[in-house]
């Protein structure tokens, strides 16, 4: 035990703080922790089970005997604890709880840091203190990071289906360490700033993609140990890549070994089924009115960011938490004390959560996947906001995908769908997202949403991606869509990397790579995302030709960019676009280049402006705009 932290047994202060919902480091006390007592080495076990008649810990160290290690209850707070001499790291265990009716339940440890590989359901003793970190330079730099003013381009991914080892008898998963080396190389080359990992907290069913969690404090054992997971985060940080995890405080599954009816009664969930169950999802809803449950979730968020150095959490299904009637029919939900449909306890939870997490961790991000028009999601709590750093822009995503699916002939009648998002762009701190949700459940891949055949499909997607990267807001793209994955995504297989043998897929990947590097190179594309001074339409009303032109401006006024995007297959040989000054405009991105699948027509590099009103501006430049053409000029 040399060099290890001495475990401090549960005390009155622990019970008090848990009851107040402010024991932010409770995971250092509850769960399983190696230590020493009366000169003997072993493990301290503790769990919260307020209505259990009796709790014992059973495991490989005592032959799974329910009488061998009966836990001592703290009657005030409902914490049960015991020291088991001789228990060792790596051994499996569960809590055996006797319910108020005398039934015995065998539960995994809610605070365990490691779990048995599914289909096993036991927890495994693990010593987090042995993890070594060498990412201090990254963490120091992170303290200066401002997500609203710095570049954020996220590669959303599912670790188990990004790549797999072919021909192996097991599932062929990359472990965390193999994955780290492969993804770091790919993400660096492509130009993303962050990876966002789906489904890392332990979960029993692969098909849930990690959104039905049973082990909130345990990185899934599918890909290795907690030490392997930490190695991955450490490695990615040393390569300059941020790590965001999906985090699921909205609901949890009913699996017998999980949180549901933990002590034989509703413990982590609301007792009233109208409050405590999602009828659509068949899952339980956390009881946000209970301080110990809020404490569990807030401590969990802090655990990932402070213990595992994660840079941000994307909070799943926020709307389902905020609205009492989410996914429910009349008679299936209970109104709040004012008769409304807002979960006032959940509102308080989010304000508390974000204030603590962001207050303690300068530069970390809390990102809301919130699909409604709930106000002030990213406003600070003191301004009656929820306090998130960023919010997924689901409205933009919906309008964008619906427009892109249209035959170009009909786009002129829907021109406003691509301009509407700018009318509310400054109401929140937004991320533009094309996430996994858009390429599952028979929605088709991004490339197969595009109209037309062959070249037209790829050209459509190219102009769509260019519009996305020019638009105000941070960026997120789900894996595979950067090279035009043809099939819908499935967690059961790796991405179709073989497609990159085909020139059209290579060309699209090269185009996305160019957009990503352009995004990071030009502050005009990110530093004024939340300031009207950073974006200006040149022509938002050219519906007849389905062409959009706009400017992105930097704080200094230097290296501003002019985007021109043609959403039809018709070439505009004599296209003129208005510009603000009589200077030269330098072509920095041209979709017609051969490497992006274009015709490769030779083009001038510099375009001098001519005096004369155009698009309401005093000067203009002329450019031969090809079918589905994109041109980006620096000025």
| Residues forming the active site | 316, 369
3-state secondary structure 432-491: EEECHHHHCCCCCCHHHHCCCCCHHHHHHHHHHHHHHHHCCCEEEEECCHHHCCCCCCCC
To 10 degrees, the CA torsion angle through 34, 36, 37, 42? 50
Q: Give the C-alpha separation, 29 to 479, whole Å.
A: 38
Burial of 218 (0-12, 13-18, 19+ CB in 10 A): buried
End-to-end CA distance of the chain: 63
H or E, element range at 400: helix 394-405
Burial of 450 (0-12, 13-18, 19+ CB in 10 A): buried
CA atoms within 13 A of residue 374's CA, in its CB half-sphere? 27
Pairing of strands 72-74, 79-85: antiparallel
Q: How far is CA 215 from CA 299, 439, 554, in A?
A: 14, 27, 44
3-state secondary structure 86-106: CCCCCCEEEEEEECCCCCEEE
**Pair of tokens at residue 44:** 């301290």
What is the full DSSP assignment across 582-628? SSEEEEEEETTSGGGTS------SEEE-EEEEETTEEEEEEEEE-TT
The answer to whether the beta carbons of residues 233 and 308 sit under 8 Å apart is: yes
To 10 degrees, the CA torsion angle through 422, 424, 427, 431? -50
Q: Give the C-alpha separation, 564 to 629, whole Å.
A: 8
**Three-class DSSP category at 245:** strand
The answer to whether the beta carbons of residues 535 and 472 sit under 8 Å apart is: yes
**Three-class DSSP category at 234:** helix
């Amino acid at each position: 035990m040399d060099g290890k932290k001495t475990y401090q047994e549960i005390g009155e202060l622990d019970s008090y703080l848990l009851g107040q919902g402010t024991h932010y480091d409770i995971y250092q006390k509850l769960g399983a922790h190696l230590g020493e007592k009366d000169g003997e080495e072993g493990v301290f076990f503790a769990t919260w089970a307020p209505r259990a008649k009796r709790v014992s810990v059973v495991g490989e160290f005592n032959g799974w005997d329910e009488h061998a290690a009966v836990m001592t209850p703290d009657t005030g707070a409902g914490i049960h604890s015991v020291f088991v001499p001789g228990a060792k790291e790596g051994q499996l265990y569960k809590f055996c709880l006797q319910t108020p009716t005398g039934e015995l339940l065998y539960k995994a440890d809610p605070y365990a840091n490691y779990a048995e590989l599914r289909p096993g359901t036991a927890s495994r003793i693990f010593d987090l203190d042995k993890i070594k970190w060498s990412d201090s330079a990254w963490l120091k730099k992170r303290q200066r990071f401002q997500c609203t003013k710095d570049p954020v381009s996220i590669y959303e991914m599912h670790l188990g289906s990004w790549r797999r080892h072919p021909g192996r008898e097991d599932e062929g998963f990359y472990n965390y360490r193999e994955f780290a080396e492969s993804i770091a190389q790919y993400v660096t080359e492509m130009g993303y700033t962050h990876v966002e990992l789906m489904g890392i907290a332990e979960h029993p069913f692969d098909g849930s993609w990690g959104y039905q969690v049973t082990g909130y404090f345990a990185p899934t054992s599918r890909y290795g140990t907690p030490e392997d997971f930490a190695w991955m985060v450490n490695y990615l940080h040393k390569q300059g890549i941020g790590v965001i995890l999906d985090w699921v405080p909205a609901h949890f599954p009913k699996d017998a070994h999980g949180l549901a009816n933990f002590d034989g009664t509703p413990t982590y969930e609301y007792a009233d089924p109208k409050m405590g169950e999602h009828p659509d999802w068949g899952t339980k809803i956390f009881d946000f009115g209970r301080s110990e449950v809020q404490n569990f979730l807030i401590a969990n968020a802090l655990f990932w960011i402070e213990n595992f150095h994660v840079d941000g959490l994307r909070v799943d299904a926020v709307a389902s938490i905020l609205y009492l009637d989410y996914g429910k029919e009349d008679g299936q939900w209970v109104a709040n004390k004012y008769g409304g449909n807002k979960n006032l306890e959940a509102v308080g939870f989010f304000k508390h959560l974000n204030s603590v997490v962001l207050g303690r961790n300068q530069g970390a991000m809390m990102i809301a996947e919130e699909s409604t028009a709930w106000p002030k999601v990213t406003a600070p709590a003191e301004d009656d906001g929820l306090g998130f750093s960023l919010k997924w822009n689901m409205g933009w995503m919906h309008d964008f995908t619906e427009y892109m699916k249209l035959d170009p002939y009909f786009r002129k009648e829907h021109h406003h769908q691509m301009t509407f998002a700018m009318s509310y762009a400054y109401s929140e701190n937004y991320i533009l997202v094309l996430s996994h949700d858009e390429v599952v459940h028979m929605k088709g891949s991004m490339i197969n949403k595009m109209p037309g055949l062959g070249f037209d499909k790829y050209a459509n997607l190219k102009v769509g991606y260019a519009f996305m990267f020019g638009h105000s807001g941070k960026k997120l793209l789900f894996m595979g869509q950067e090279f035009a994955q043809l099939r819908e995504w499935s967690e059961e297989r790796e991405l179709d990397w073989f497609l990159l043998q085909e020139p059209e897929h290579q060309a699209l990947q090269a185009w996305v790579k160019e957009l990503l590097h352009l995004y990071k190179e030009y502050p005009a594309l990110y530093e004024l995302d939340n300031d009207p001074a950073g974006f200006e339409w040149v022509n938002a009303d050219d519906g007849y030709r389905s062409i959009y032109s706009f400017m992105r401006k930097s704080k200094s006024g230097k290296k501003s960019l002019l985007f021109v995007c043609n959403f039809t297959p018709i070439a505009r040989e004599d296209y003129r676009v208005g510009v603000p000054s009589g200077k030269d405009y330098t072509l920095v991105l041209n979709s017609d280049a051969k490497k992006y699948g274009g015709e490769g027509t030779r083009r001038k590099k510099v375009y001098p402006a001519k005096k004369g009103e155009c698009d309401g501006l005093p000067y203009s430049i002329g450019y031969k705009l090809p079918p589905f053409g994109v041109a980006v000029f620096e000025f």
